[in-house]
Amino acid sequence: MGALLLISNLAIGPFLFFLAEIPNFLSEEECKLIIHLAQLKGLQKSQTLPTDNYEEAMEMIEVSPMDVFNLLDHNQDGQLQLKEVLTHTRLGNGRWMTPENIREMYTAVKADPDGDGVLSLEEFKQLNLKDFHKYMGSQKVKVSDLVRNSQHTWLYQGEGAHQVMRSIRQRVLRLTRLPREIVEHSEPMQVVRYDQGGHYHAHMDSGPVFPETACSHTKLIANETSPFETSCRYVTVLFYLNNVTGGGETTFPVADNRTYDELSLIQNDIDLRDTRKHCDKGNLRVKPRQGTAVFWYNYLSDGQGWVGELDEYSLHGGCLVTQGTKWIANNWINVDPSRSRQIQFHQEMARYAQEELEAQPEWTVDKSYKNVHIEL
Ligand SMILES: *[C@@H]1O[C@H](CO)[C@@H](O)[C@H](O)[C@H]1NC(C)=O
Ligand SMILES: *[C@@H]1O[C@H](CO)[C@@H](O)[C@H](O)[C@H]1NC(C)=O
Ligand SMILES: *[C@@H]1O[C@H](CO)[C@@H](O)[C@H](O)[C@H]1NC(C)=O
């Protein structure tokens, strides 16, 4: 694989973020084939518009205004700054909230009489949370207002898959130098299409892990109910399947930054996570180029040769596609931070393989991959 020798490190520092860009990882024909297979399979919206049960959902959460205030008051200074409200993305119920949106909301529910964009505890206490929910529920949301505006599908890469899909998995195995069984038992390939106007605001591909966190791929063998679940995507390999006419870069707003602080992502009403407006202000951007793969780790090492904490410098997003269509694919390598659970998972997978069950056991993959075997 000559192509593998062309790795260039775009970003790498002492404790910082590693990102490799590999041109010609896929041939033009392979890119076209993946797009073709994805189209045959059919793509679905990556995120749907929030339904109007927003109010209902919020009412079920029974917390006092004081608790809500404390939860939002990140730096515990007794004041709610706009950026503290914005970093709680769940507030928007799938809608991406901008500083302007928050100001409009404050005005609509008369939350901030002095108009300084900061809520004191007194101002917050005056606020009827029901008014807030009503306001949010009454907002007309367009796809461009969502966190993610794209379509995607999943392509199977296991035994019996299309020879090109198998071959890409083998190349990813050599690229990442991870054990074969880990790569073979990871998620299928995700193919994503962004039309003109598409975007994906900056996010992490996987979540933080606490001792009680379950991984989606191993949770059923773990046989315990956990309050938290994440996808445990140790590695991301992203493939560009076409040249994009305008926009559509992948941005890493804090790659190689000296320090990282979540609240510093938003300064003077500029939210660095906003890939529709502020892609040009991030630390690193990769321009889509057909056949190029980029690869990075979403977790740090635990110092003992296994997966450790989430690497916040891996924050990334898809910039607004200003012209044409953008096609990419993702291969995620899933590793459970609990080494024993990961090993148990492989044993179970081996057992199933031996029993020659035709389909992969359902618990190995997320429900959304359910139809990945269909013909592909
Ligand atoms: C999970 O635990 C229950 C009770 O301990 C047991 O009956 C069940 O067989 C276990 N399931 C799996 C998949 O190990
Ligand atoms: C994509 O762009 C690269 C240069 O950036 C070029 O070499 C390649 O031929 C282009 N591919 C297509 C299909 O236009
Ligand atoms: C990036 O690093 C600089 C210098 O340490 C720091 O001032 C800034 O807040 C950092 N940005 C983020 C988003 O943490």
Tell me the domain boundaries of the chain.
8-46+147-369, 54-142
Domain 8-46+147-369, architecture per CATH: Sandwich (2.60)
Ligand closest to CA 292: 2
Residue 372 has pLDDT above 90, yes or no: no
What is the distance in A from the centroid of ligand 3 to the CA of 257? 6
| Minimum CA distance residue for ligand 3 atom 7 | 259
CA torsion angle for 335, 337, 338, 342 (degrees, to 10)? 0
Ligand closest to CA 26: 2
Look at the domain 54-142 and name its fold.
Answer: Recoverin; domain 1 (1.10.238)
Task: Provide the terminal-to-terminal Cα distance of the chain, rounded to the nearest Å.
Answer: 25
User: Distances from the Cα of 47 to the Cαs of 23, 50, 142, 216, in angstroms?
Assistant: 30, 9, 11, 19
Q: Which of 178, 155, 196 is nearest to 368 (CA)?
A: 155
How many Å apart are CA 38 and CA 215, to the nearest integer?
Answer: 26
What is the distance in A from the centroid of ligand 3 to the CA of 233? 26
Q: Is 265 in the pocket of ligand 3 (CB under 6 A)?
A: yes
**Cα angle vertex 279, ends 296, 262, to 5°?**
65
pLDDT digits (tens, 9 = 90+) for 226-266: 888 999 999 999 999 999 999 999 999 999 898 999 999 99
pLDDT digits (tens, 9 = 90+) for 19-49: 999 999 999 999 999 999 999 999 999 998 8
Using the atom order of ligand 2, give the atom closest to the CA of residue 242.
Answer: 13
pTM above threshold 0.85: yes
